[in-house]
Structure 1
Amino acid sequence: MEVGNVSVEFDHVLGILRALLVLGLGITLARFAARALEKAILARGDRQLAMLARKGVFWFLASLVLVTALHQLGFNLGVLLGAAGILTVAVGFASQTSASNLISGLFLLGEKPFAVGDTITVGDVTGEVLSIDALSVKLRTFDNIFVRIPNESILRDRVRTLSRFPIRRFDLKLTVDFREDLKALEKVLRATSDHNQVALQEPKPLFLPLGYEEWGIGVQFSVWSAREQFFVLRTSLIQEVQQALLAAGIDIPYRRITLSPPATGADEAGLETAAEPSGEG
């Protein structure tokens, strides 16, 4: 009888060892296969598809490995699959938001409004796309903050892809005095953009009077740059235009507020006395 118990325990231990061996080798091979597929797709330049393919292949193979390991331990797979089906239905009813995000993610993958590495603006959040997952999109903002946005919110909101095209335009808006010569102003602005190191000459800069405003004439000066140099252009052009306008003596009107100290009690009394007739002689 003791020999029988020892044999049963040995078979149980052997099953555990086989399950651990299957898990170890299977997960290792799944990771290797997923990374190999990712590298093959990255060679074609599609980072988004490479990331999704790596995750999909890994979890599919890992599921097969887990089922095989459970079989080595003697679990009845039919019962497990039935329980998993019931659990899936229950979770599906309980997580309708997740299902909506999953469906929205499929629409995003099909439409491809942006890709991994792009800079996008969703609502009031702007950042670089780190990943596009089944339920959400992960962003890293310019101040290095991690932001997770559900796919459903992205599908319903307006999305601006700032890095979609190779060049971008910076619109500099300013107001000049009514008495300023707009042709002279245009000449100064164009000369400034010509000397800017990152400003493009094609497309040509645009000088556009916007109309009369409360404090003067509104003007827009639009300059193009390479996408990677946009923030360099914005910073340098504002500084250079300021120096050029000062050198040319072109006035930019601004609101002036004059503050005067309140009158003291003695001054008020003196004013009242001076305002009233004396009534003598």
Structure 2
Amino acid sequence: MQEQTAEFIAGTNALALQISNLVLSYSLSTIGAIIILCVGWVIAGTLSKWTRQSLSKLKGFDHTLIGFLSASVRYGVLIVVLVMVLGQFGIQTASILAALGAVGLAIGLALQGTLQNIAAGIMLLVLRPFKVGEFVNAGAISGTVTEIGLFSTELKTYDGLFVMAPNSLLWNTPVTNYSRHKVRMHDFKVGIGYEDDVQKAFGIIKTIISDQKGVLKTPEPVYFVSQLADSSVVISCRYWIESAHYFTVSNTTTEQVKAAFEHGDINIPYPQVTYHRSGSSS
């Protein structure tokens, strides 16, 4: 009986010692995990804030991209911290990283189209082929850019319609930006009759163009005969306009040239076809 009691006491002491060692070991691991988590949380917030402030100082850097990059830095640090915390409890971090990689691959395949839009949105924000307020044309899409997001770009058409275009579509399509440069060239062409005075027509066009607001003196406008067509002599004028006045000046020039030609007895011929019919014997 005494031997059994002694064995029971010895077993109890051994179990208590194991539990004590286990509690002590996990207590230290828990304390270490808490310290790592707190320090990592502070570092993640600090780096995210530093990234936001540093990128905000860069002139012209898009605010959408600033938010995305600062958030990416924060969550990247937190993922590393989480792996370190799990390592404190003896969990194999290599298997965790492998699992995270597999999950990331699965998510990437499932959201392939969305990720393409995000990647295209980042490239659009970094390379900036267009900015908010600029009028662009990309294939079948045209309008004034109102917002550039990570997934899509919003535009307003000339007739007031709302267009939301996926960023991947805009990135993979040649984009014509009508507002990027401050000046644009207007290639004006008009046909006059073969019997009309070319120099007189040039004089009328020069007067009209020189009176237009927004027309640049340098480089000087160029006037020349560009084609001898079947029914007309095509005269051309290439002159530069401030982009803000382009549509007003180009439309006004066309309208005033037609009115001035009519007043100055200069014809603007249209294609004519003459039919000859040979006489038939009775």
TM-score, reference length from structure 2: 0.62
**Change beyond 3 A, Cα 1:39–1:155:** closer
Q: CA deviation at 1:162?
A: 0.9
The residue aligned with 2:233 is 217
- In 1, the alpha carbon distance for the partners of 2:141 and 2:221 equals 29
Other-structure match for 2:16: none
Structure 1: gaps spanning 5 or more residues: 1-32, 65-77, 258-274
Distance (whole Å) between structure 1 residues aligned to residue 129 and residue 55 of structure 2: 23
Counterpart AA for 1:181:
D
Match of 2:141 among 107, 111, 125: 125
C-alpha distance in structure 1 between counterparts of 2:165 and 2:182, whole Å = 26
Q: Quick one: distance in 1 between partners of 2:54 and 2:195?
A: 63
> Whole-Å Cα distance in 2 between the matches of residues 62 and 190 of structure 1?
64
Check conservation: 1:127, 1:142, Cα contact below 8 A.
Answer: yes
Q: CA deviation at 1:62?
A: 10
Letter in 2 for 1:204: E
SS at 2:62's partner residue?
helix
Instruction: Give the equivalent residue in structure 2 for 1:249.
Output: 265
Task: State how far apart, in whole Å, the 1-side matches of 2:112 and 2:225 are.
Answer: 52
The equivalent of 1:72 in structure 2 is none
Q: What are the Cα deviations for residues 11-50 of structure 1, in whole angstroms up to 9, with x where unaligned?
A: xxxxxxxxxxxxxxxxxxxxxx8xx969955xx752x512
Q: Displacement of 1:54 after TM fit?
A: 4.1
% identity of equivalent residues = 22
Deviation at 1:195, TM superposition (A): 1.7
CA drift at 1:84: 8.3
The Cα shift of 1:159 comes to 0.9
Q: 1:45 to 1:132 in 2, by over 3 A?
A: same
What does residue range 57-206 of structure 1 map to in structure 2 within 5 Å?
57=70, 88-206=104-222
- State the superposition RMSD in angstroms: 4.1
| Separation in structure 2 between the aligned mates of residue 103 and residue 250 of structure 1, nearest angstrom | 57
- Contact 1:38–1:53 (Cα < 8 Å) also in 2: no
Instruction: Give the Cα separation in 2 of the matches to 1:156 and 1:166.
Output: 26
Separation of aligned partners in 2, 1:111 and 1:173: 36
Structure 1 or 2, whichever has the larger Rg, is 2
Residue 69 (structure 1) aligns with: none
Question: For this pair of structures, how many residues does the alignment match?
Answer: 219
Question: 1:49 and 2:62 equivalent?
Answer: yes
Gap change, CA 1:38 and 1:230, over 3 Å in 2 = farther
- Mind listing any 5+ residue stretches in structure 2 that lack a counterpart? 1-48, 78-92, 274-279
Distance in 2 between residues matched to 1:58 and 1:224, nearest whole Å: 46
Residue matched to 2:38: none
**Could you tell me how far apart the structure 2 residues matched to 1:38 and 1:184 are?**
62
Instruction: Pick from 233, 238, 257 the counterpart of residue 254 of structure 2.
Output: 238
In structure 2, the residue matched to 1:207 is 223
2 CA distance for matches of 1:38 and 1:216? 63
Q: Post-superposition shift, 1:179?
A: 1.9
Change (3 A) 1:38 1:205: farther
Whole-angstrom distance in 2 between the partners of 1:40 and 1:105: 18
Q: How far off is 1:182 after superposition?
A: 1.8
